[in-house]
Amino acid sequence: MINRELKLFFTALSFYTRLPAPAFVHKGSTALLPDSIRYLPLIGWITGGVAAVVYLLFNFLFGNALAVLFSMVATVLLTGAFHEDGFADVCDGFGGGWTKEKILEVMKDSRLGTYGVTGLVLLLGIKFIATIQVTTDVNALVILGIFIIAHSLSRFAAIMVVFSQSYARSAESKIGSAVDKGRAVNLIIAAGLTLLPLAGLIFYTGVSSIAFILIPVVLLSYYLGYYFKKWIGGYTGDCLGAVQQLTEVVIYLSLFLIWKFI
């Protein structure tokens, strides 16, 4: 049991980041991919932790704005721009296509179009400014909590879309099979890994209103799932990347509003 859970974790780590997995994971890792989704929020812990460490180092050296920028660079390098690429493809597909077939065709194209470039620039710009706002005048432990929550909760938002919608490209089953096995247990484990850092930050700060960030995240993930279903009959891997990126930004914005009004 423990050995299988380790394989699931390292399968998720190698698929969703550029970090290497031990050799024993490589064989049959595709078969483990469906159940490995349970550890996607834990990947968010790692990505958020790296972002926090980089931010704290560069904030000490250069100040807040450059620290945020370098933390963003670190997460892009760590994940290989996996989710940003999905968001850009969604912008191109839904911006330039008016039928299911055309949208899916455009999203599959590796070339980046005007909608994708424009959307990505705007998204990263909003993320940059929102992160500056939410990290101002808070201590290191809160910084760590903010980044871990943003990266784990936004990934859980993508999981919610997976569990609530069908895969749009039925012939390409690698992503679509992500809920074929252990549906309930995968969701429960992922939820626990998502809520743990959120509970920790609430306990440390004593600010119970932090829990309200769950509301916009759930609403946005539900809306995006509905939107994808309406236009293409479900989600694709690119759609999940877009969900992660958009909800991450919403988390930063929501936390900023909470800091502002408490």
Instruction: Please check whether residue 122 lies inside any domain of the structure.
Output: yes
Res 248: pLDDT: 98
Local confidence band at 181 (pLDDT 50, 70, 90 cut-offs): very low
Check residues 57 and 108 and name the one with the higher pLDDT: 57
Check residues 96 and 132 and name the one with the higher pLDDT: 132
Res 27: pLDDT: 56
Instruction: Please check whether residue 29 lies inside any domain of the structure.
Output: no
Local confidence band at 29 (pLDDT 50, 70, 90 cut-offs): low
Instruction: Please check whether residue 93 lies inside any domain of the structure.
Output: yes
As for how many domains the chain has, the answer is 1
Distance CA 167, CA 177 (A): 8
Instruction: Please check whether residue 8 lies inside any domain of the structure.
Output: no
What secondary structure does DSSP assign to 174-202, as a single string? Answer: HHHGGGSSSHHHHHHHHHHHHHHHHHHHH
What mean pLDDT is reported for the chain? 92
Res 110: pLDDT: 85
Instruction: Please check whether residue 67 lies inside any domain of the structure.
Output: yes
Report CA torsion sign: 259, 64, 47, 107.
positive
Inform me whether the pLDDT recorded for 87 exceeds 70: yes
Check residues 245 and 178 and name the one with the higher pLDDT: 245
Local confidence band at 179 (pLDDT 50, 70, 90 cut-offs): very low
Instruction: Please check whether residue 230 lies inside any domain of the structure.
Output: yes
Distance CA 108, CA 105 (A): 5
